[in-house]
């Protein structure tokens, strides 16, 4: 049963785990690293790290799980979380740790929602702003 699985779910799931680990283990340097990984996916689209990993590792074993033809929602989601993590990183640099961790947890929550298929906030925000 496929039920909407894609490389976006993998990407967002990994990002959520890493961001929550950064918070629990107090690893602020992990926040910009996750942001860079998501930025690479947002900018590269289907040639990003997670879509390539998905295409080379998962799809050969489960051909029915090939990515959907429109990667745009995943890119928008990755871009949204990248912006949130960039502001969190700036917060860490300015010594505003409480605000930075709050933004990090917001990014983690957003990625959990996207990874589980509940809602991807990136496309909703872009639609709301009238792209």
Is 45:51 a contact under the CB 8 Å cutoff?
Answer: yes
In a domain, 39, yes or no: yes
Q: Is the pLDDT of residue 61 over 60?
A: yes
In a domain, 49, yes or no: yes
Distance separating alpha carbons of residues 120 and 11, to the nearest angstrom: 12
Predicted confidence (pLDDT) per residue in 62-73, tens digit: 887 776 656 678
pLDDT score recorded for residue 3 = 53
Distance separating alpha carbons of residues 28 and 23, to the nearest angstrom: 7
Domain count, the chain: 1
In a domain, 2, yes or no: no
In a domain, 1, yes or no: no
Q: What is the extent of the structural domain holding 99?
A: 7-129
Half-sphere exposure of 113 (CA within 13 A, CB side): 15
Predicted confidence (pLDDT) per residue in 29-38, tens digit: 999 999 999 9
pLDDT score recorded for residue 127 = 84
In a domain, 87, yes or no: yes
Predicted confidence (pLDDT) per residue in 101-120, tens digit: 999 999 999 999 999 888 88
In a domain, 121, yes or no: yes
In a domain, 14, yes or no: yes
**H helices within the chain, ranges in order?**
7-24, 30-44, 49-53, 72-93, 97-115, 121-129
């Amino acid at each position: 049963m496929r039920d909407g699985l894609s490389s976006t779910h993998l990407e967002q799931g990994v990002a959520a785990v890493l961001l929550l680990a950064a918070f629990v283990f107090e690893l602020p340097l992990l926040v910009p690293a996750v942001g860079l990984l998501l930025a690479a996916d947002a900018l590269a689209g289907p040639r990003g790290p997670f879509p390539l990993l998905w295409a080379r590792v998962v799809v050969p074993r489960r051909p029915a799980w090939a990515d959907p033809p429109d990667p745009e929602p995943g890119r928008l989601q990755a871009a949204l979380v990248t912006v949130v993590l960039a502001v969190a990183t700036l917060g860490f640099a300015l010594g505003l740790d409480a605000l930075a961790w709050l933004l990090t947890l917001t990014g983690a929550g957003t990625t959990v929602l996207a990874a589980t298929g509940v809602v991807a906030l990136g496309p909703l925000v872009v639609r709301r702003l009238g792209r």
